[in-house]
C-alpha cells in the first residue's frame, strides 16, 4: 500500500516522475564512481610511488657498500706498508725510530686518503695506541682516542684481503672532530697470518650525507641511512646526525636490521607525520637505507583531483535537475527539436556543427549549451595542467636519476683508477686479467712487470714529491708506449704492470724495450736538476690453453724482473731466462 502511494505521488506528476527517474539514474553510477575513486585510486598511487622509492633505496646499496670497501682497501694498503717496514727495519732501527717511521707513514696516508678523521696504530689488539695521526693534527698533551668501549662487527674481506681481518663499529661522536664517524679496525698480519699490529681509522660520514642530500623530492621526501644498531648515519635533520639519534625502535628500522627490503608505512617522530617508504638492507655492512615521503604529500594531488571531481559532479547534478525541470514544462518541443537535429546530424555523417542555439530556444537550453561549452573548456584546462604536472615530475625524476648515475660513475672511477697516475689500480687490473683468462682461451697473454731502479735513493735524496713526479713521468710514458688493446696499471709504489694482448714473444720484448728506452732517453728536468731514470723489467708471454693462473704469470714476470735488478739493472729479462741489456745510462746531473 505504501509503495502504491509512493508511485501515485510521482506518477501523477510528469515533473516529479522525470526528476525522480533522472536523479536515480544519475546518482547510481555516480555512487559507484565515487566508491572506486576513493578506494582504488589511493592504492594505485601509493603502490607506484613506493615502488619508485624502493628502487632508489636499492640503487644506493652498492655505492654505500663501495664507500666502506674502498676505505678497507686503503687500510689494507697502509697495513702492507707497515708490514714491509716491520720486516725491513726490525733489526736496524730501535723502538723509537720504528715508532717515528710508523708515525710518518700514518701522517702521509692521512693526508692522501679522503674521509679519514684519524689514523691510529697499536702493536697488539689490547695495547695502548702508540701512533696517532689526525685531521687537524692532534695537539700535544691532548687525550688519546679510546676505542675500548666500542663494539665492533666483522666486515667481509676486501679485495685481496683475509676474512676476519676487518671490523667496523657503530656510529659514534669522534673525540677528534666532534662529528659522527665510524671506526674500522684492520688487523696487520705477518707472513704467518699472526697479528703483528692493529690499525684503526675514524671514517667521516660527510660523503654519505652528501650522497643522501641529493635525494630530495616533494616537501618532506628524503633519504636516511642507519647503522647496524639502528643509529643515524645520514638524515636531513642535522640535530639527529650530530647526536647520533637511535631509531632502532621504529618498525621500518627493525625490518632493515633484520635484513629485509621492501616498502612500509610508519610514523616519523622527526617530522611528526605518517610516512611511506621504500627501504633496503645493506647486507655486507649490516646497515639500512630508506627513502621515506610524507603520506600527506602523496595524497595531496589525489585529494585535489577528488575535490575537482566532486565539484564537477555536483555541478552536473544541478544541471541535470534544471534540465529535468525544463523537460517537465516543455517536453514536446525540445524532444522534437532533438529528433530533427539528430536526424540532420546522422544524414551529414556527424560533421554538422550544432552552432548557435535558435532564437526561440528556451533560456534553460541556452544555459545548458553555455554550461557544456564551459565544462569542455574546464576539462581541457584540467587536462593541460595534469600533463604539465606529469612532465614536471618526470623531469625531476630524470634529474635525480642522472645525478645518481653520475655519482655511481664517480665511485666506479675512484675504485678502478690509481689516484696518483690515473692508470688502472691493482684491483681493476686483477679483475680484468682474470676475466680474460676465463674467456680468451687459446690467445697469448703477455705480462710486463716494471720497477724503477734506485727509486728509494730518489726519494731519500730529492724528496717524496720528486718521487711522485718520477712515478707520474713513468705513467705518461707507459700510456704512450702500450697499444690500445693493452692495459697498464700501477701495482703500488714504483712498481707497474702491463698486460699485452695476444702478441708474440718478440712483440712483447719490443714493447718492453720501447718503454725502457723511452724512460732512459727522457730524463726529468726539474728546477736545477736533470734526473736520469732507468728500469728493471721482467716479461712473460704464454698461451692460455686453460688453467693458466694470473698469480703464476705475475710471479714469473716478477722473478724475471728481480733477476734484471740483481744482474745490473736497466735491462729486460724474460721468462724463461732471456736477457736484454742496454748501454749504461748516465747518472743524475745537476743542471
Q: What is the pLDDT of residue 475?
A: 92
Cell of 530: 736533470
Strand-strand pairing, 535-543 and 571-575:
parallel
Task: Give yes or no for a cis peptide into 190 (omega within 30° of 0).
Answer: no
Is the domain spanning 46-135+156-297 CATH 3.30.450.20? The answer is yes
The CATH code for residues 426-561 is 3.30.70.270
Cell of 317: 547534478
Cell of 493: 709504489
Cα R_g (the chain), whole angstroms: 38
Distance of alpha carbon 447 from alpha carbon 558, whole angstroms: 9
What stretches of 236-366 adopt beta strand conformation (E)? Answer: 262-268, 273-282, 287-294
Distance of alpha carbon 533 from alpha carbon 398, whole angstroms: 51
Q: What is the pLDDT of residue 6?
A: 53
- 371-411 residue pLDDT tens: 544 444 444 456 567 777 878 788 888 887 777 787 777 67
Tell me if 449 sits within 8 A of 538, measured CB to CB: yes
What residues does 121 pair with on adjacent strands?
131, 199
Residue with cell 717511521: 101
Q: What percent of the chain has pLDDT over 90?
A: 26
First-to-last alpha carbon distance for the chain, in angstroms, is 125
Tell me if 559 sits within 8 A of 539, measured CB to CB: no
Of 233, 278, 234, 235, nearest to 260 by C-alpha is: 278
The helix (run of H) or strand (run of E) holding residue 364 is helix 363-416
Rounded to two decimals, the pTM is 0.47
Q: What is the pLDDT of residue 181?
A: 93
Q: What is the pLDDT of residue 483?
A: 92
Q: What is the pLDDT of residue 99?
A: 83
Q: What is the pLDDT of residue 338?
A: 46
Q: How far is CA 336 from CA 47, 118, 125, 198, 339, in A?
A: 51, 92, 101, 99, 5
- 218-231 residue pLDDT tens: 677 788 999 999 99
Of 570, 566, 545, 542, nearest to 556 by C-alpha is: 542
Distance of alpha carbon 496 from alpha carbon 206, whole angstroms: 33
DSSP state of 483: -
Of 455, 462, 480, nearest to 526 by C-alpha is: 462
Q: What is the pLDDT of residue 183?
A: 92
Q: What is the pLDDT of residue 268?
A: 78
Cell of 173: 661522536
Contacts with 559 (C-beta within 8 Å, 6 or more apart), sequence order: 538, 575
3-state secondary structure of 463: coil
**Across the 591 residues of the chain, what is the mean pLDDT of every consecutive 10-residue run?**
53 60 70 63 67 86 91 87 74 71 85 82 81 70 76 86 88 88 89 84 90 78 90 90 90 91 83 85 92 78 70 75 64 50 50 53 58 45 69 81 75 80 92 86 90 90 89 92 93 92 93 93 84 93 86 93 93 78 45 27
Distance of alpha carbon 414 from alpha carbon 352, whole angstroms: 69
Tell me if 131 sits within 8 A of 106, measured CB to CB: yes
Contacts with 49 (C-beta within 8 Å, 6 or more apart), sequence order: 276, 293, 298
Contacts with 162 (C-beta within 8 Å, 6 or more apart), sequence order: 189, 193
Amino acid at each position: 500500500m505504501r509503495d502504491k502511494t509512493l508511485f501515485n505521488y510521482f506518477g501523477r506528476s510528469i515533473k516529479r516522475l522525470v526528476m525522480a527517474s533522472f536523479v536515480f539514474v544519475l546518482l547510481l553510477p555516480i555512487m559507484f564512481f565515487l566508491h572506486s575513486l576513493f578506494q582504488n585510486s589511493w592504492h594505485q598511487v601509493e603502490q607506484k610511488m613506493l615502488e619508485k622509492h624502493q628502487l632508489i633505496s636499492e640503487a644506493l646499496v652498492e655505492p654505500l657498500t663501495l664507500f666502506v670497501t674502498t676505505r678497507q682497501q686503503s687500510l689494507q694498503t697502509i697495513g702492507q706498508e707497515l708490514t714491509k717496514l716491520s720486516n725491513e727495519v726490525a733489526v736496524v732501527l730501535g723502538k723509537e725510530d720504528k715508532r717515528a717511521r710508523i708515525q710518518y707513514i700514518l701522517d702521509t696516508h692521512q693526508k692522501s686518503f679522503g674521509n679519514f678523521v684519524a689514523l691510529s696504530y697499536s702493536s697488539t689488539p689490547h695495547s695502548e695506541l702508540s701512533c696517532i695521526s689526525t685531521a687537524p693534527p692532534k695537539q700535544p698533551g691532548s687525550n688519546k682516542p679510546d676505542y675500548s668501549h666500542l663494539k665492533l662487527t666483522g666486515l667481509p674481506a676486501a679485495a685481496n684481503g683475509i676474512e676476519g681481518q676487518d671490523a667496523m663499529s657503530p656510529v659514534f661522536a669522534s673525540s677528534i672532530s666532534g662529528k659522527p664517524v665510524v671506526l674500522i679496525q684492520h688487523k696487520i698480519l705477518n707472513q704467518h697470518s699472526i697479528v703483528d699490529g692493529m690499525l684503526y681509522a675514524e671514517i667521516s660520514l660527510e660523503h654519505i650525507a652528501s650522497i643522501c642530500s641529493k635525494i630530495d623530492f616533494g616537501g618532506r621526501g628524503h633519504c636516511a641511512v642507519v647503522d647496524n644498531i639502528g643509529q643515524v648515519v645520514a638524515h636531513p635533520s642535522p640535530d639527529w646526525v650530530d647526536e647520533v639519534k637511535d631509531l632502532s625502535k621504529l618498525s621500518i628500522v627493525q625490518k632493515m636490521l633484520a635484513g629485509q627490503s621492501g616498502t612500509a608505512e610508519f610514523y616519523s617522530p622527526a617530522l611528526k607525520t605518517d610516512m611511506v617508504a621504500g627501504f633496503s638492507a645493506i647486507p655486507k655492512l649490516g646497515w639500512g637505507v630508506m627513502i621515506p615521503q610524507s603520506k600527506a604529500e602523496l595524497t595531496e594531488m589525489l585529494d585535489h583531483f577528488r575535490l575537482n571531481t566532486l565539484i564537477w559532479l555536483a555541478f552536473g547534478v544541478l544541471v541535470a535537475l534544471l534540465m529535468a525541470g525544463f523537460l517537465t514544462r516543455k517536453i514536446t518541443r525540445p524532444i522534437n527539436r532533438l529528433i530533427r537535429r539528430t536526424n540532420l546530424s546522422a544524414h551529414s555523417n556527424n560533421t554538422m556543427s550544432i552552432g548557435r542555439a535558435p532564437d526561440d530556444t528556451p533560456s534553460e537550453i541556452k544555459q545548458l549549451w553555455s554550461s557544456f561549452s564551459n565544462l569542455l573548456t574546464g576539462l581541457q584546462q584540467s587536462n593541460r595542467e595534469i600533463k604539465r604536472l606529469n612532465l614536471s615530475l618526470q623531469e625531476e625524476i630524470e634529474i635525480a636519476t642522472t645525478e645518481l648515475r653520475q655519482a655511481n660513475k664517480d665511485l666506479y672511477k675512484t675504485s678502478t683508477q690509481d689516484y696518483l697516475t690515473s692508470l688502472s689500480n691493482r684491483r681493476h687490473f686483477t679483475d680484468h686479467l682474470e676475466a680474460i683468462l676465463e674467456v680468451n682461451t687459446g690467445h697469448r697473454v703477455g705480462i710486463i712487470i716494471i720497477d724503477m731502479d734506485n727509486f728509494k735513493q730518489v726519494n731519500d735524496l730529492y724528496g717524496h714529491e720528486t718521487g711522485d713526479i718520477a712515478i707520474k713521468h713513468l705513467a705518461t710514458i707507459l700510456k704512450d708506449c702500450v697499444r690500445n688493446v693493452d692495459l697498464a696499471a700501477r701495482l703500488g709504489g714504483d712498481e707497474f704492470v702491463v698486460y699485452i694482448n695476444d702478441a708474440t714473444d718478440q712483440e712483447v720484448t719490443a714493447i718492453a724495450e720501447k718503454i725502457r728506452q723511452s724512460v732512459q732517453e727522457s730524463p726529468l728536468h726539474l728546477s736545477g736538476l736533470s734526473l736520469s731514470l732507468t728500469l728493471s723489467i721482467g716479461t712473460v708471454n704464454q698461451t692460455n690453453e686453460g688453467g693458466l693462473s694470473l698469480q703464476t704469470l705475475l710471479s714469473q714476470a716478477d722473478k724475471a724482473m728481480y733477476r734484471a735488478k740483481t744482474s745490473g739493472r736497466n735491462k729486460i729479462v724474460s721468462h724463461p731466462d732471456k736477457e736484454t741489456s742496454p748501454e749504461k745510462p748516465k747518472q743524475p746531473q745537476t743542471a
